Chains A and B, each alone.
Chain A
């Protein structure tokens, strides 16, 4: 071979000739590149094989995980579809990456093919040592073909075409269909992967209806349990059912039906100003109120519905009756329902309290799936589809919020007169039903009870008053800050001008007033920085959701609190972890946590007996798995004279001029960010130590 090549080269050099018949070759390493490296999740590859069964008009497709005694695991996928003949195997199944995008012909059963480009399939086939295909074409009854891909053989050669494949033909008595056996899986499927696969299989064909006539199933350990959970539908227990339909002209009709089946709210044109330029689609969302009161009169228990939602919850997307991943997968909240709920928790469903589907109406080529089969290409039509679903959710939230506000107003009005009426009724009953001597005892007991309730109501009223005064203090301090910052800056600048001019005019003599002018400048500077605090905290775009850089927020708080800390002679140490942690939420929420913990520290040093020198506070960040820990600790006296559980309660404080709301706000803000907060009365530095634990957003930005 080499000799021939060199002869040809010499011939070329001598005669200025050319060599014909060469072609590109493909190295065997490409199999891994296009297979397992492009589609790393085994379940995704397996789902491609299931989709092939759908395209082959199968009604059943069984995926079986076989664990042998030797602990070897194999995978068998079989269906009762049309099968493939010799030609289809040779020119279809054995050809990788051949696009079928122009083939929008319906199958014999009238299905629109969902087939792939062969790459996901490759990843699945390469999961084991061998992949054996047995195909029984419907066009040739009684005949079956077999072909075996032995992957080890590809490791011993250089190019793909160096491995010869035999397609065997033989007689069979089985009916048409396909069997694919993947032997000796390189990485055995663990329970979590099987569970994930089971969920995908169950949700693949719309579990909300039987329109597809396609039943994929899995034979694997633990599958029955998952299947039961998915198949148990609790749609009737939903409090609200949102039905939004956008037609081909981009007009969206939205209605919300309550659990009794009555239409609660309806709009025929969701956004008349800006219609949705996307494919015709229908969005259903069932919203559950997972509280004991709601479930007391229902058929299912709260626990059952909760478990069901845990498995199937989220908004799934169906195209041509089959589910498109990853929409609705765990952690893929494509309509940002959880984020919207964080921003405005009232009357908003989350993926844990709702289940939904978006069904795209028949073949519309404006939405195209990506090559790796994970979702649609994010083009205009897709963004508009998202906008349609999100605006429908916003509209429902707005309607529910309006109703909640009206309800609250009525409740406030009703409660006072209702208490009065019931008290009168109670007196009547006592008078009518009890003998005179018993009446006195009962009335006395009731009076005592009323006093106790009265005290509690009074305490709540005080809390409410305090919250209202804090809110008023917040709004007025913003106004004050806005007005005060200008004169404060003016004083600061005029003192600078006095200094410049004074030094020029009086030379040495200026030192007689220099210090006093400098004090004016510094005081004005402090005033300006105090005034900037509420304005900074109230900056509008801080309440916008997104990824928030934890270190940036802590740094900003250090700047903001600088003058306060300096006045109190507190040294603030920052100890940051090397990589930069981000959390999902808003700057305002994270600021609420840090600002209140720092304020708490400043107050802690004001307590009698607290040290006067060497005052220190440390703010530290640490990473722990998928969480970021923010620790705020000081060397004051720690948490004393109050139960640890009580520090989080509104209004509870041991500081003379504290409001008792700082730590309640910390707790609520941490909760909104799906985190946890702990306190240690006397921590590492001797004083109180708070640890806030928050989930990291999509890993660390280095």
Chain B
């Protein structure tokens, strides 16, 4: 294989860690990384502590390709989304791969989505999209944030409080994004001093430049002030 690292002024990627609980998937990822001109580094589990896995990745590679569900075949006690977000905080480019895109994006991935620049549904992961994904990660990590990923402070209205896969979730309308379409996110994203209620208005920072609801992330929630009783007409 011809070795062809991904170059960026701040970081060069030539070794990519592969994190997956499925051996067949690991093999495929290895081939794809090789085809992309990079060197795959398979990190074998199991891991109970995210810091241990972080340390292994950071000592053996400059980037990571990470599956979301790591628990089914007993690889790790945490999920891939949380790992990618931690790597992001440490300026390690990481791509999250998901097989069950439909089921995971709104809750378990959305919780960490702010720090996941690239999410690839498994069938879209090829050597080409992997390289492009790492380029996008590098760009964001070193200051060039794409319009789709820039957060804006927006108003949202809570439409429904419910459960999804055992997690408390919120469905909310963001008139500044799409006033007809509710978006689901985990209630855990809202800091504990705010008690969410149906019909309540909140401010939050959201990347409303993205058209795809699966890409939206939320943080810095505030309770919106109540409308003034005297609106000046009296």
Contacts and interface: CB of A to CB of B under 8 A. Distances in A.
Interface of A: 34, 38, 97-99, 101, 117, 119, 368, 371, 377-380, 382-384, 386-387, 482, 485-486, 489-490, 492-494, 496-497, 500-501, 525, 528, 532, 535-536, 539-541, 544, 546-547, 549, 582, 701
A107 to B, nearest CB: 21
A371 B165 CA distance: 43
A366 to B, nearest CB: 10
Contacts of B180: 547, 549, 582, 701
Interface string B11-39: 00000000000101100100110010000
B140 interface: no
Given A493-B125, A539-B103, A541-B106, A384 B197 contact: yes
Contact of A368 (B25, B159, B164, B229): B229
Size band of the B side of the interface? 35 or more
B126 A490 contact: no
For the complex of A and B, 3 pairs with smallest distance between CB atoms: A99-B234, A383-B199, A379-B226
A500 B127 contact: yes
Contact of A541 (B171, B230, B233): B171
Contact of B99 (A101, A377, A489, A496): A489
B212 to A, nearest CB: 13
B139 interface: no
- Provide the main secondary structure of the chain A interface: helix
B227 interface: yes
A493 B198 contact: no
B32 A493 contact: yes
7 contacts: A101-B234, A119-B233, A384-B197, A482-B100, A528-B123, A535-B103, A544-B182
B198 A117 contact: no
Contacts, number: 97
B99 A494 contact: no
A381 B133 CA distance: 47
A492 B123 contact: yes
Nearest to B232: A371
A500 B126 CA distance: 11
Nearest to B106: A541
Nearest to B29: A493
B182 A546 contact: yes
Interface in B51-88: none
Nearest to A582: B180
Contacts of A382: 199
Given A34-B233, A387-B198, 10 more contacts: A368-B229, A380-B197, A384-B197, A486-B99, A493-B122, A532-B102, A536-B102, A539-B103, A540-B164, A546-B182
A523 to B, nearest CB: 14
Contacts of B230: 99, 101
A387 B198 CA distance: 8
Interface in B146-173: 159-160, 162, 164-165, 171
A494 B226 contact: no
B233 A489 contact: no
B35 A497 contact: yes
A560 B20 CA distance: 28
A97 B233 CA distance: 7
Nearest to A546: B182
B210 interface: no
Given A98-B234, A386-B198, A500-B35, A493 B226 contact: no
A14 to B, nearest CB: 40
Nearest to A488: B123
A536 B182 CA distance: 18
Contacts of B24: 490
Nearest to A482: B100
A541 B226 contact: no
Given A378-B227, A383-B200, A387-B197, A541 B184 contact: yes
A383 B227 contact: no
B199 A386 contact: yes
A376 to B, nearest CB: 10
A543 to B, nearest CB: 10
Contacts of A525: 123
B197 A496 contact: no
A378 B228 CA distance: 10
A97 B234 CA distance: 5
Nearest to B201: A378
A539 B165 CA distance: 11
Interface in B171-201: 171, 179-182, 184, 197-200
Contacts of B200: 380, 383
Contacts of A371: 231, 233-234
A493 B199 contact: no
A497 B126 CA distance: 9
A496 B127 CA distance: 10
A46 to B, nearest CB: 20
B233 A544 contact: no
A695 to B, nearest CB: 16
Contacts of A380: 197, 200, 226
A489 B234 contact: no
Contact of A383 (B125, B164, B198, B234): B198
Interface string B122-141: 11011100000000000000
